[in-house]
C-alpha cells in the first residue's frame, strides 16, 4: 500500500461524518432490509457464516473441561463482541446490492483489497481487545469469589453458581461487568466497520462517529443491542446452528442501520 494509513484518512485528515437521529421504526426497517438481502442472495454468504457455528462448536468443546467451565458464559456472550468485525464481508454484499451491482462471494472477499484495510484491522484489534479484557475480568471474578481451584465437575460448578452466596455475587457483578463491556463494544462498532468499508475515513473517525451515533440515539441503540442479544441467544440453539441464519441477517441489517445513522 503506497498510501498506508490507519488512524486518519489517506490525506492525513480526520473527517467528522454527520450522524442522524433515528427511531424504532428505522430499526425495524434495517432488520427487514437485512432479511431481504439474506433471502435474495443466500448462496453467496453461506461460506462466510459457516465459520460461526464451527467456532461455536469448537468453543463449546474447549470449555467442556472442568477447568474452563467458569468461562462458558463469558465466552458465549463475549463472542458477540467481535461479530461486527467478522461480518464485514456481509456489509460489502449489502453495499453492492444497494447499488444494484452484481454481488458474489468473490466480492465479499474483495474487502481485503480495500484501502481502508489497515484501519479496519486496527478497529478489529480494538474489538478483540475488549473481548480479551472481558475474559480476564470474568476469570478474575471467579477466582476472587471461589479461589484458583477450578470446579471438579459441571454439577459442582452449577451448585457453586446457583446455590451459594458467592455464586449470587458472581451473577450480579459478572452481569454488570458484562453489561459495561457490551455497551463499550456496541458503541465502538455499531457503525465503525460499515463506515470504513464505505469511506476511507481512518480508524479514529470510524470509532468516534460510532460513539457519536450511539450518544445521539441512546434509546434506539440500546434497543438494537437488546435485539442483537436476543437473536444471538435464539440462534445459539441448538448447538449454534441457528447462527447460520441469524448472523447474516444481523450483518446485513447492520449495514442498513449504518445508512440510517450516518448521512451520505
C-alpha cell recorded at residue 153:
465437575
Instruction: Band the pLDDT of 41: cuts 50, 70, 90.
Output: confident
Please determine, for residue 200, whether its predicted confidence score (pLDDT) is greater than 70.
yes
Q: What is the mean pLDDT of residues 162-173?
A: 92
41 compared with 215, residue with greater pLDDT: 215
Distance CA 262, CA 20 (A): 6
Question: Which range in 15-29, 35-49, 229-243 is most confidently predicted, on average pLDDT?
Answer: 15-29
Using DSSP, state whether 7 is helix, strand or coil: coil
Please determine, for residue 92, whether its predicted confidence score (pLDDT) is greater than 70.
yes
**Longest Cα pair distance anywhere in the chain, in angstroms?**
60
Q: What is the mean pLDDT of residues 224-231?
A: 90
Distance CA 95, CA 198 (A): 8
Helix axis angle for 218-235 and 243-261, nearest 10°, is: 170
Q: What is the pLDDT of residues 139-154, one digit of tens each?
A: 899 999 998 887 877 7
Please determine, for residue 103, whether its predicted confidence score (pLDDT) is greater than 80.
no
CB atoms within 10 A of CB 142: 23
* Mean pLDDT, the chain, integer: 83
Distances from the Cα of 5 to the Cαs of 15, 129, 137, 155, 210, in angstroms?
14, 21, 33, 52, 19
Q: What is the mean pLDDT of residues 56-81?
A: 63
Look at residue 8 in the predicted model and tell me its pLDDT: 73
Task: Read off the pTM.
Answer: 0.83
Amino acid at each position: 500500500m503506497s498510501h498506508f494509513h490507519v488512524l486518519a484518512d489517506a490525506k492525513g485528515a480526520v473527517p467528522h461524518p454527520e450522524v442522524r437521529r433515528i427511531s424504532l421504526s428505522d430499526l425495524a426497517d434495517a432488520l427487514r432490509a437485512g432479511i431481504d438481502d439474506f433471502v435474495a442472495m443466500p448462496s453467496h454468504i453461506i461460506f462466510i457464516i459457516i465459520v460461526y457455528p464451527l467456532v461455536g462448536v469448537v468453543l463449546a468443546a474447549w470449555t467442556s473441561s472442568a477447568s474452563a467451565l467458569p468461562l462458558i458464559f463469558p465466552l458465549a456472550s463475549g463472542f458477540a463482541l467481535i461479530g461486527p468485525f467478522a461480518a464485514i464481508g456481509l456489509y460489502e454484499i449489502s453495499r453492492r446490492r444497494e447499488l444494484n451491482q452484481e454481488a458474489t462471494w468473490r466480492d465479499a472477499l474483495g474487502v481485503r483489497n480495500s484501502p481502508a484495510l489497515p484501519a479496519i484491522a486496527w478497529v478489529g484489534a480494538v474489538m478483540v481487545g475488549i473481548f480479551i479484557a472481558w475474559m480476564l475480568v470474568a476469570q478474575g471474578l471467579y477466582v476472587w469469589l471461589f479461589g484458583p481451584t477450578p470446579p471438579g465437575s459441571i454439577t459442582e460448578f452449577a451448585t457453586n453458581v446457583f446455590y451459594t452466596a458467592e455464586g449470587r455475587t458472581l451473577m450480579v457483578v459478572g452481569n454488570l461487568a458484562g453489561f459495561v463491556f457490551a455497551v463499550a463494544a456496541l458503541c465502538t462498532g455499531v457503525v465503525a466497520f460499515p463506515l470504513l468499508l464505505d469511506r476511507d475515513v481512518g480508524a479514529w473517525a470510524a470509532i468516534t462517529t460510532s460513539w457519536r451515533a450511539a450518544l445521539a440515539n441512546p434509546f434506539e441503540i440500546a434497543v438494537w443491542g437488546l435485539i442483537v442479544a436476543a437473536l444471538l441467544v435464539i440462534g445459539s440453539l441448538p448447538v449454534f446452528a441457528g447462527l447460520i441464519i441469524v448472523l447474516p441477517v444481523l450483518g446485513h441489517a447492520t449495514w442498513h442501520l449504518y445508512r440510517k445513522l450516518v448521512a451520505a
